[in-house]
Amino acid sequence: MRNPVLLLISLVLVSTILVITSPAQPPSSRPNKGIEENALQFYALVNAVIIDGDKRVENATIVIDGTTISAVGEDIEIPKKAKRIDLTGKVVYPGFIDAFSSEAVSLTTQPDSSPHWNKLITPQISVAKTYKTNPATNAQFRGIGFTTRSVAPKNGILKGQSAVVNNGDGSATVEIMRTHVMQHARLSVNRGRNDYPDSPMGALALARQTFLDASWHEQQWRAFNEGVLTKQPERNDALEALAHVVSGRQPIVLEAPNEQYLLRADRVAREFELDAIILGSGREYRRLEAIKDTGRQLIIPISFPKPPNVGTFESALDVSYTDLMHWDHAPSNPAVLHNAGIEFAITSHDLTTKSDFWKAMRKVVARGLDKQYALKSITTIPAKMLKVDHRSGKIAKGYLANLVVASGDLFEDGSKVLSTWINGVEYSPETKELQIAGNWRISTKADSSIDGNVLKVTQEKANITGQLTLGMEELKEVQFNKITLRGNRLSGVLDGDKFGHKGVIQLSVVFTREEEALIGIGQITWPDGTLDKLTISRLPNSDSAKEDDKAEEVAEPVIEPSKPLFDINYPLGAFGIDQVPDAIPCAAFTNVIIWTCGPQRLIESGTVVIRDGFIDAVGTDVKIPKDALIIDGEGMHLTPGIIDCHSHMATDGGVNEGTQAVTAEVRIGDFVDANDTNIFLQLNSDGEALERI
């Protein structure tokens, strides 16, 4: 029979081990079915460099107790029970905060008994009610240092309410920080719908009417509750949710796909006195002064356009000067906004690949954005914007243990995120760089000019170069114009003329393991569009780029210009001007035949004096002011400006709303395209004014 005392000691030891090694659980109202676990979650991060806003602290210590920072500084007494983690040579930042992200949420996941009559109006939707942790998505955000983000509904016009979540892998009850944070709206729709609205103009009109309805709905219920009305108003959850916005109790984020939509969104916000924040497009530099005058906080994406394809004469013809200028100016947009005194948060929204975020941020800093402000744009500014600044955005006592550990200054090339801490839990990146350096035998169609040849790949950290080694007498090696590795996919481009083809040859393979050997399976696309399947297999003794005695050339880093190559003009593009022309205070047209279009009919050899944009005098005996610019129009006619009473020019994004028989609510004035050069062409053709319909 076992000794009962030894058995009791064993049970105590096992229980103690379970308590120490089990993951920490937050306090919960759910009753526990077994023994309460209270895991140790006490850490001391020592010898770190802390960069927090404009402060830099060397040899610092951060003490984490549970989910919270309990102490931070240079001379900190470390509790004996804390687990020490040495971060010598590492940099620690506050956890980064993304002010905007989105995910699809529909009313089918939130059944509602009284929705709005239009399915694009769903302000009652709340992300917090359906949010579920997505480990893959959260890992992408953590990989670039974002520990916290705002999640908004993705679809609709008046979309619904966002939640602030931490990017940990705990349950929603653990990771959601705030609910019903902001309302979100996009005052436009994609064309091609069969239901109302089918146009941006109709979408804005519907939003405007819904704001009016929400205000009216709240007034009706107030009057009924006070006994003024005897008939109970309808229940409408959409209008009830929106009442918080029209009364100013809840902010709203208005999405602006370009600079004109931003100004349009501001006008709507002013019309209804909304507390609006605007999600920008990266094109704000085009109307800087007007956007500054709005006084709005902005959320700015840094998804810059790819270099336009001007590799051939034909492709260059398809690239507009506007596109070229935007490519040139887009990386400077944040610096331009900051220099103008406009406050903004930076978001990773719109980036095709989240891992490109720091590449884009470094480009932004190279273009003149202050490093400290760049850091604030992803820490303290979004924290305040989302009203979580009392617990997030700083490394301070009492704040959440949301941290980023980096190999160095993240705004410098070569530095990377090593791990993130969220609610006191450390998360490390789960992916490793695929090593593909070496010589690879190509197998494809037997009659192909590249079958049996060797693809030589060199790999120096993130830099990949490649060349084809051929068995042709007249050509031994062909360098790839471009070759990239993203995850496990290798893509490359070659000149087709080296193989007797006009155009470029594209190679794409995905690496996989077959019997523990790494192989690549994919295709080659010839300039005429023909596709050939191929595989590549690594040759023996070529698992390193150092198989040759030759020293490999290391690709020089691309040096980002400190400012755009060309000055901005307005409207942006080929017909733009650098600045508004100086107005002529006074001018006199002399010796002209004047068409008065009045009782005087024609005046021969007359004079017209213009002052400050208005006609000051007309006739044959007119005294010409001394400061007037005299324009001799002898033999010429002078008429009033022509007014076009029916025009469809300068409309932005398509405006006709044809999904309802009566659409008197739409306003053509909402969608004037100030960038349409037809305006200037009309002026050049004697057109002074027009009626847009």
What's the distance, CA 229 to chain centroid?
47
Judged by average pLDDT, the poorest of 298-307, 521-530, 562-571 is 521-530
| 431 contacts: CB under 8 Å, gap ≥ 6 | 143, 487
Give the model's confidence band at 27: pLDDT under 50 very low, under 70 low, under 90 confident, else very high.
low
Q: For 564-575, b where at least 16 C-beta lie within 10 A, e where not — what string?
A: beeebbbbbbee
Q: What is the CA radius of gyration of the chain?
A: 33
Q: How far is CA 692 from CA 260, 267, 309, 670, 678, in A?
A: 18, 20, 36, 11, 13
Mean pLDDT within 50-76: 94
Q: Which segments of 295-373 are extended strands (E)? A: 298-301, 344-347
- What's the rounded Cα separation, in Å, for the pair 379 and 175? 18
- 106-110, 133-137, 339-343: segment of lowest average pLDDT: 106-110
pLDDT of residue 554: 41
Cα angle vertex 575, ends 572, 580, to 5°? 75
pTM score of the predicted model? 0.77
Q: What percent of the chain has pLDDT over 90?
A: 55
In this model, does residue 157 exceed pLDDT 90?
yes
- Contact criterion met (CB below 8 Å) for 279 and 303: no
Query: Which residues, in sequence order, are CB contacts of 185 under 8 Å at separation 6+?
Result: 157, 158, 159, 207, 252, 253, 254, 255
Task: Indicate if the pLDDT at residue 74 is higher than 80.
Answer: yes
State the first-to-last Cα distance of the chain, in angstroms, to the nearest integer.
Answer: 98
Measured at the CA of 686, the angle between CA 683 and CA 692, to 5 degrees, comes to 60
3-state secondary structure of 654: coil
The confidence band for 462, taking pLDDT boundaries of 50, 70 and 90, is low
- Expressed in percent and rounded to 5, the helix, strand and coil fractions of the chain are 25, 30, 45
The answer on pLDDT for 2 being more than 60 is no
- pLDDT recorded at residue 509: 82
| Angle at the Cα of 279 from the Cα atoms of 276 and 285, rounded to 5 degrees | 110
Supply 10's token pair. Answer: 């064993």
Q: How far apart are CA 386 and CA 127, in angstroms?
A: 15
3-state secondary structure 62-125: EEEECCEEEEEECCCCCCCCCEEEECCCCEEEECEEEEEEEECCCCCCCCCCCCCCCCCECCCC
| Closest-CA residue to 331 (of 352, 308, 300) | 300
Mean pLDDT of 433-454: 82
Tens of pLDDT, residue by residue over 203-218, are 999 999 999 999 999 9
Phi, psi of 448 (to 5 degrees): -75, 145
Can you tell me the mean pLDDT for 575-604?
Answer: 91
* Mean residue pLDDT across the chain: 86
